[in-house]
Amino acid sequence: MPLSKFRTKEDHLRFSKKQSHAWIEHSPICTKIIDLDFNLQFMSSAGVKTLSMSDVTQYYGKAYPFDFYPQSFRDQMSNNLRKARDTGLVIEQEAKVVDTLGNEVWFHSTISPVSENGDQIDYLMVVSIDATARHTSIRELEQLNDELERKVYSRTLELESANKLLHQQVETDFLTKLPNRLAFDRHISMSITSAKLSKKYLSLLMIDVDNFKTYNDKYGHDVGDLVLASIAESIDNSLLRQTDIAARLGGEEFAILLPGTDVNAGFCIAERIRTNIESLQVWNSDSDMIANMTVSIGVASLKDDELNATHLLKQADKALYLAKHLGRNNSQIYFADVVSKLA
């Protein structure tokens, strides 16, 4: 409505105030008028509705923030009201309150000092936007992220466990349950690296079951498998250190890695294994005892610059050849001059 329609400027001012009051009352934004003693003088209908108040007028002239707000909010709002009054600055805050029913409500508030004549602050206007939906969405998103992280973590553990099991299955001999040739190749490489770093000996025992073809021909392959499984178990039980590694290389051939072990100690371990196998008593399905199970063992040991997988395997294999050449069921240490005479 143009100014010419009003009789006086006072009429225009009253109309403007009436229009402003109507806009404030119907706005979705909560507007509050706080006097300089921090008493509530007015609250728009948006705030009344959000706070589930039946009658806001009972709070007019009383201290703001309200007593039913959380203490943390009351402290923060009181400090910001005082700061706006004393400095004339516009202050913003976002904090959680509760309505009269105890429900959580979030408000983003702007505290503005208001001067009617421009020379001094007359009151404080607090304009608050309900941010509850946004905070609820943020909290729900955080919960979803937490749940997703838990699921991802759980799934990762499952995959790691499955991969570990698969790795074990790939590197485990199905019959004897000892590490297989693939695992042995990995372990010998690691053991050589460790031995060179520690400057210690690494010994290798090569074991071959004597006359194994006889068991298969006489009793059948099922009994042959039983013999191999029994010998493998005896070998594993003969090792006293967790660092010692026994593996089935294939067929009736086994190998043992002995870190930090010189040739004499390796020979003692070989003899313990050999005598333990010789004393085995294995029964087949017909309740017949399978006797005369023996093994031949070759022992080699290297350290420092001489140590590599090729030389260690060749020397242990040649010592094994010597043990078989000398009648089987014995252990032999690799000596270059002895092996050369048999070549």
- Residues labelled catalytic: 252
Rg of the chain, C-alpha, whole Å: 45
For residue 214, count other CB atoms closer than 10 A to its CB. 12
Element (H, E) at 246: strand 245-250
Helix axes 212-219, 221-238, angle to 10 degrees: 140
CA 197/CA 304 separation, integer angstroms: 9
DSSP code string of 319-339? HHHHHHHTTSS-EEE--HHHH
With H, G, I as helix, E, B as strand and everything else as coil, classify residue 50: helix
CA distances to 13, 299, 318, 330 from 333, in Å: 115, 5, 9, 10
For residue 119, count other CB atoms closer than 10 A to its CB. 7
CA 257/CA 260 separation, integer angstroms: 10
Q: Is the dihedral of CA 140, 143, 148, 149 positive or negative?
A: positive
For residue 314, count other CB atoms closer than 10 A to its CB. 14
| Pairing between β-strand 295-302 and β-strand 331-333 as defined by DSSP bridges | parallel
Q: What are phi and psi of 190, to 5 degrees?
A: -65, -40
Q: Cα–Cα–Cα angle for 79, 34, 60, nearest 5°?
A: 120
